[in-house]
Chain A
Amino acid sequence: EDQVTQSPEALRLQEGESSSLNCSYTVSGLRGLFWYRQDPGKGPEFLFTLYSAGEEKEKERLKATLTKKESFLHITAPKPEDSATYLCAVQARGGSNYKLTFGKGTLLTVNP
């Protein structure tokens, strides 16, 4: 069974204080690893897709990296508007199975 574990559960940062969120996963052959941002009461908003170990993607203050066992979401000089829950999900390779398996997320709060 595919599993995704995210840490920490919650992270509080001061504006400008860089940090990283972790996503460790177990999957029977990785098709892709996905990062989403979720604001309260809203749907997950797509951020990145990573397909293979060593791959990196960047968007504004966010940078996602992937190894064979985990992914990191690095947040550089965060702003209060980066406050949200960040979700990690994996998609397994094979057959007609395209479902995403999500972690519980990391609730990020950035204080001004």
Chain B
Amino acid sequence: EPEVTQTPSHQVTQMGQEVILRCVPISNHLYFYWYRQILGQKVEFLVSFYNNEISEKSEIFDDQFSVERPDGSNFTLKIRSTKLEDSAMYFCADSPSQAGAFFGQGTRLTVV
């Protein structure tokens, strides 16, 4: 069964460094998302991406964050100048239609 694949599974980075989280969505899915989950808290929406552009972003998704589909298949989330409070699980998700989403297994980002 097709699934969303995320790499790396765990990333440790120093505060102030840039990180790139990578995702390979399910083939033929059109809608892409990034969510995050701080330990013990809700899953929170960050950004949605459709037709090669951002369709919506949350207030969390500030200038520190950016998303790209660099080669038409992979989908990346870049966090510039990481902060301690960026430590969380980051989930990539996608959907073939407007309804719902299928999630990857996540990247655990630890900022030290």
Quick check: B100 and A99 within 8 Å, CB to CB?
no
* Interface residue from B35, B41, B55, B108 paired with A98 (Cβ < 8 Å): B55
- Are the C-beta atoms of A31 and B104 separated by less than 8 Å? no
Q: Which of chain B's residues have a CB closer than 8 A to the CB of A29?
A: none
For the complex, count residues of B whose C-beta is within 8 A of A: 29
Contacts of A45 in B (CB 8 A): 103
Give the chain B neighbours of A24 by CB distance below 8 A. Answer: none
CB distance from A94 to the nearest CB of B (A): 11
- Residue among B42, B56, B91, B93 making CB contact with A103, cutoff 8 Å: B42
Interface: B65 (CB within 8 A): no
Cβ A43 vs Cβ B103 within 8 A: yes
Most buried by B among A32, A99, A104: A99
Q: Judge whether B95 is part of the interface by a CB distance below 8 angstroms.
A: yes
Rounded to whole Å, the gap between the CB of B41 and the closest CB of chain A is 8
3 tightest CB-CB pairs across the interface, nearest first?
A: A43-B103, A99-B45, A102-B43
B residues with CB within 8 A of A: 4, 6, 31, 33, 35, 41-45, 48, 50, 55-56, 58, 89, 91, 93, 95, 98-106, 108
